[in-house]
Every structure is written in structure tokens, then in C-alpha cells.
Structure 1
């Protein structure tokens, strides 16, 4: 079946099957958060992005194979409500942006800086530190050697614009980071956000100037 990335709380997961990586997307409540399970096809090792909520649903998706790692994209509470239970059940190592780690109540085993590589089996994800939505938000870039890049943006980029910021300086910082570290990728790049539907950089790139003009 063709992957759409359209998931709803209580509904089934959607699976994006790449040559080296399987990406399973599921939505959990109560804030319609997306969680992503990445599975290396060569080794079957798994990594979870954002143990947002509903531990039972996430553990059911993870299955008996467990996970090696959990990456929390940023410190906002709706992105780590199930982290303690998932870690307790799986023994997974925890990763988060260095500047956000203190804001996450579950200890971060590996603080992440810009350019750091996080591995799931034989697959490499490169962290991009984006300041603005929170001080330590990270996006994860999978540069698929068989196709286009895939980016897990947390709450830094959605269909229709960047994530929420509270000060003009934060907005400018987030936009500068996105332009320097994300929009340098090709139009075909697939974007997996922390809430809602997926998008591509090609769909969003024409609107950068209007985002800058409106200031959010």
C-alpha cells in the first residue's frame, strides 16, 4: 500500500517502506502527537522518535523486538509523556538535544549536538540543532542512499510553516536554522512533523517569504 502519513489517534499506523529502513508512524492523544518507529531492515534494530503519550500503544507498535534507543525531539511535555514507561519496559538509551535535556524529567543518556550521528542498526541519522521553538530542539535527517532525504522535524516545521515561537528573536532564529540546515536539502525531501500530516520541502519552500513577512 502507498504511504500517506495521514494517521489519527486510535487509528492504525502507517508504514513507509524504504530499501534500508522501515518508518512506522502512529498518532497518540490527547494532543495528536506523532511517534515514529524506525527499523533497520538489515539488523532489525529499532529506534523510537518521541515517546509522546499512550505507552500501551507505543509498546504494542514496538513489539517483542524492543527498541535500542528513544530520541526526544524537544522538551515540551506532550513529546515525552510515555518516555518513562517506554524506557522502563525496553531498557532503551535516551537521546535529546543538549540544551533541552534538563527540561525532560527522564534522564538523557546521550545529549545531542548539531551534526551528531545517531545510529539505528546500519542506518545513520544526522541531528540538526534548531533554536527557536525550544532552545534544544533537534531534527533528524536520514539521507537515503537509494533516494531522497527524510527529515523528522519535531515541532520545528509543519505543513504551512515553522513551529510556534513566542518572541520575534526566536522566530528569526528558527527560520534561520531551517533555511541553513533543512531547506538546503532537495525539494523531494520528505518531512515527518511532530503533529499532523507529512509534507515535502518542495511543497513548503515557495512559502518561506510569506512566513518571514507574517512573522510566524
Structure 2
């Protein structure tokens, strides 16, 4: 668990693909956001309940306001229907991926959107290439480094899989460089869709290498 002054950030690895799911909870209001209802809703519910335990200021109950899907691949949506039904939360995803997500999407997202919750905002960063509508979500902690939830578009050691398609790789690497590395500072914490996290500072020296190798 990562604790900021106003928001707690919890994660869990779920399913056969070891997908990371993330829950952000505003301590003052109880607003929660679930990023990638990938699998195992029982485990996700445990993470939501743990976040609710952080509340203070007289808040009696946490409320899941939105479930955001970073991209449409099957391993990131296996618990989406169950999570949406159980929580009543709105669903959101990149507009170009909506047709491939097997649950209706309430809020289509595009690059530059800002999602306003009671206690924090999330900025939408479009990262085209892993899928056409892949998005990252940026939480700016006013008292510490920013937190960037990148789905499968950026990992320690490289960008997401583009199946050796030069056009898709070019699109993704260019978006990652222009919309992330040229936009955010080195202390930004990266929370990927699988595996361990990293920082932009740790990855920045390798950008030319990634571009040269083509994956």
C-alpha cells in the first residue's frame, strides 16, 4: 500500500497472467477508483474493503465511483462485468477500445481528459499502439511524486508488446516519449499492468535503446 496525504493506493496481482489491479481511495470522501478489473473479483473486493478502512473525517462508507479499463485485452477485463454489477460503478475506457470490451462502457476516454473525483483527479494519457485506445492514468500527488498507471503500454525495460508491427511500435514509442517522458519528471512512479513498478528516471536512459531495437 502507498499512502499519500489524501489518497491511498493499493494493488493486487490476480489471475493466471498475474495482472495488477489498482484501487485509489480518497480518504476524505470515500470515493474509490478501480483500475483494471482483470480477474478474481473476490480478491478485488478485499482490496476495495482495505481502502475503505483508511477513511477518516466521519466518512461512513467508501463508494466505487468508476472502473477504468486501461485497454481491451481479455486478461484485463475478466472480472469487469462482476465488478460493475457488484459496485454499481460507471465504467470507462479509451474510446478506440470500447468496441472490443465485452461490457458496456459508460464513459469514453480520450487523451487529455481529466476525471474529477471527490478528493483527487486522474488525467487520461492516450498511448496508442499496444491497442488503439490504450490509456494511462496520472495521479498528481500534491505532496510527493506523481503516480502513473500505464496498463500494458510501459513496463520496466520497455514499452508494451506491438507484435513486431513497425507502425504500431512507432506509434507507441512516440506516444510514450512525447506524452510521458517529455511531460513528466523522473520521480514519477510507474505502476504497470503486470509485474514490478519503476520510475521514469530509471527508464529514461534506455529510450534510445528501445527505439533502436524496435520493441
TM-score by length of 2: 0.92
> Deviation at 1:65?
3.1
C-alpha separation between the residues in 1 aligned to 2:73 and 2:94?
A: 12
What is the alpha-carbon root mean square deviation over aligned residues? 1.0
Is contact 2:69–2:92 with CA below 8 Å preserved after alignment? Answer: yes
1:110-157: CA deviation from partner (whole Å, max 9, x where unpaired)? 000111111332201100111100000000111222122110000000
1:154-173 to 2 correspondences below 5 Å = 154-166=151-163, 167-173=165-171
C-alpha separation between the residues in 1 aligned to 2:46 and 2:143?
A: 30
Please name the residue that 2:180 is paired with.
182
Unaligned runs of at least 5 residues, structure 1:
1-14
1:85-105: CA deviation from partner (whole Å, max 9, x where unpaired)? 011111010000000011101
Gap change, CA 1:194 and 1:135, over 3 Å in 2: same
Please name the residue that 2:101 is paired with.
104
Please name the residue that 1:150 is paired with.
147
**Number of equivalences:** 202
C-alpha separation between the residues in 1 aligned to 2:40 and 2:175?
A: 31
C-alpha separation between the residues in 1 aligned to 2:63 and 2:117?
A: 12
C-alpha separation between the residues in 2 aligned to 1:91 and 1:17?
A: 26
Unaligned runs of at least 5 residues, structure 2:
50-60
Please name the residue that 1:129 is paired with.
126
SS at match of 1:182: helix
Please name the residue that 1:50 is paired with.
36
Please name the residue that 1:4 is paired with.
none
Moved over 3 A (4+): none
> Deviation at 1:66?
4.2
SS at match of 1:68: strand
Please name the residue that 2:55 is paired with.
none
C-alpha separation between the residues in 1 aligned to 2:23 and 2:93?
A: 16
Please name the residue that 1:6 is paired with.
none
Is contact 1:39–1:120 with CA below 8 Å preserved after alignment? Answer: no
Is contact 1:46–1:121 with CA below 8 Å preserved after alignment? Answer: no
1:51-99: CA deviation from partner (whole Å, max 9, x where unpaired)? 0000111122212734111000000010010000011111010000000
Please name the residue that 1:41 is paired with.
27
C-alpha separation between the residues in 2 aligned to 1:135 and 1:173?
A: 9
C-alpha separation between the residues in 1 aligned to 2:117 and 2:153?
A: 23
